[in-house]
Structure 1
Amino acid sequence: MRSLSGLVALAATFSSTLAAYQGFNYGSTFTSGAAKTQSDFEAEFKAAAGLVGAPAGGFTSARLYTMVQGGTASEPISAIPAAINTKTSLLLGMWASAGDAVFANELQALKATISKYGSNLGGLVAGISVGSEDLYRISPTGILNGENPGASPETIARYMKQVRDAISGTPLSGAPIGHVDTWTAWVNGSNQAVIDSCDWIGVDAYPYFQSTQSNAIENSKSLFEAAIGATKGAVNGKPVWVTETGFPVSGKTVGQAVPGLKNAQAYWNDVGCPMFGSVNVWWYTFQDAAPATPNPSFGVIGSQLTTTPLFDLSCKKVVIEPSSSSSLVVSSPSSQAGASSSGTTSSPAGNPTDVSGGSPGAGGGAGGGVPSSQLSLETSTVSSTASVPSGTGSGSGGSGSGSGITNTGSGTASSTPTNPTPVNQNGAGANSGSMGAAFAAMMAILVL
């Protein structure tokens, strides 16, 4: 048996290895469309960090969808000072599906953020996401469903270069830059320019929406891991981050997936717990029911801001199984591996959010958007350059399922869009939206 001092030393080493960002997605508006203020963000960040029973390290990171404060043209989003005051790390987001003029406002807000907050941001920025599901929106599925216009891979790559130029020589010069999209976008060879431009790959995945497959809760883990394998196999070894995933606590049944606290708990245990502390994860979501409850609703808390979750977040009863070739890989915050995948959609008039349920996003049309809760089912065929198993996905404003994509053929990805979020006047709106269990499992084995 190892000595206690030896175990402590090993524990310290393992803890350092497992350090990862752990947080939730946050939109810039409430379900009413009202823009969040600094005090709103601070209250949310504090509540999330203090969640009762949360895994080791807590949820101290926030993924944003836009740099622009709601109701303004290009003012920095008030989540920035809120994060500084609460020591919340940030995955910054820049909306990229509304054209060059709107992205110029996002870029201006980023520059203003750096100028105003400077070195205070140096240790808080996990990365910068240039766009969210823009490649999906230009796919046959997105076009067929009348989604936001999206952006071409060449446009996203150009925007990413603009961001690199903007942060060069600033306190954010070391921030890794990436893009968030569905797995069907990442395995599509025509999007290689974006993969090449990324420091990391962000994927949104929701087995709940994979209605063309057997998506009962007991199959969620295998669907999620298949999505991970598909994404990892297509991105040339780039770190893969889980930027959205979750299971609804209430709402309509999709395929064999039945929303409810019991199944949300099972998904958290089966999919979330093995990742927490070892993979960069931004769960969807902390609260999506303020003030109205969407259908489906993914929030781990209800309509009132609280530190008491709707189900047990502790992961104490979870057995962490050895990772397979398609599962998550332990790595450091600067190079996390392992993620999810999926086919998804966003909103036709703005940014998908929790106004009516579903996954978040930050979108906007040139003239702003109108809240909508219309749900529709769409199907499209996506060509691919990577061989992958049957998979699925989700993402901002929607999620989808797919039968897989092969290197010589195509796969069909069906996607259920949820709702758009109200966007600001400039079209850059956003939705309202550690040593973890793996270490504990390892320690239990060592002690035995």
Structure 2
Amino acid sequence: MNEISTVDFFPWAWMLHFARAFLSFNVVNALTKRKYGMFKTFIIYIGVCMVYSYATLQLKDMSQKVEYTCLTLYFLIQFVLVIFLTENKLYLKLISVMSAFLTMLLTSALYYSFITLTFGNEGTEAFLNKTTLLSLICLCLFMVAFSFFVVFIIKVIKNKLNNTLEHNIKYIYFYLFPLTHIFAIQIVYAFEQQLVTKANEYSQRLSSVSCIYFVVCFIIDFSIMFAIDFFEKRELENLKYKQLVANNELDYQKYLQLKTERERYRKIRHDISNILTTAVGFIEIEKPQKALEILQKANDDIHNSAYEIICQNETINTIYTIKHRQAEEKGINLVINVEENAEIKISNYDLCRILTNLIDNQIEATDNFSENRDIELFIKITPANIVIKSTNMYKNSSKKKPTNKDFHGYGQKIINDIAKKYNGKYKFSIVEDKYITSTLLDNIECLN
């Protein structure tokens, strides 16, 4: 195949500059939070970069100093774009653009180092103004594929630092798929170079088929970024929906409890005169025990109908009321002690999931015992942390040391994931036939 010029903007130089702009956008997008949708941000970012690339290519016979100046202005323009298109702090925006610049340098260094090592200096012809179409596509696809590897590293680090829940992990691994194309690039490129060395000519059929294959790979890589963004948005919407359902369920339970309480109070208020008259009558005929039974029964009805208030947090109060009645139906005594020194900042949804899973696990474990059917929950709330400790009876007939997998695996995994989300941890221990858990959370708001 004949050599092509990389100085003329369309179509060959366009491919190279588009790959460079795509690399920069991919890295910047991984490090920042967009103000607008993916498609709109992509079009604006790539469009401005391509217009600038076209303008610089119109400068004929550029010296090396002018080229460096144009490259510096290129990334300054990207920095301005990032300022207007993202919501992060200024230093994070600067870091994202610098990371894109370093990624571009690293990509070029790695690619041409490999080519030089394999084929010698003649293999680095893409540095010049003329090259083969296959060489150009190899370079462009390598730039795009390597940018996804950098994005993968960035996503993994952000996931660890932000303690993101594990449902995001499966999307991160998709960024590794474009790396599979790099091997095909090098195999085909090496094969072509061998033909050039031996026959001193390019195989037009090989180059044509390879170019078609690489264009398909490029389209796939291009679509991956948008596909991941779509699935992550849908996952976030599902999470918000689950939070809304949980909050609505709590509100509904509060409504039912208050409705039941009012109905019982109406009945008691309606009968209170008769109850007191009857009790007085029993006392007058010297049957105080009967009077006491009637008054005690009325007191129990009032107590059982009440919405239990054990702290200032309505979520904890609601969960305690619901779970206390569930435990009583099984003959289990649930006790929750709350020490409040601050307001709870973690989301009601996450707090609800932790407490309900802990208490459900306690009820399930304690239901197997005929004695010592007490379960305890201690919650300490400070401005910095929230500590939740649960205690219930435990009896292990086996001699092996129990592990986390032996105890309510799915519910425990939920608690552990939420603890990580709030920079905390979940752990358990067994002390004198008692199963004790401890969940530590930072008392902070978290949007993940």
- TM-score (normalizing by structure 2): 0.19
From the CA coordinates, give the structure whose radius of gyration is larger.
Answer: 2
Between 1 and 2, higher relative CO (CA 8 Å, sep ≥ 6) is seen in 1
Structure with higher helix content: 2
More strand by share: 1
TM-score by length of 1: 0.19
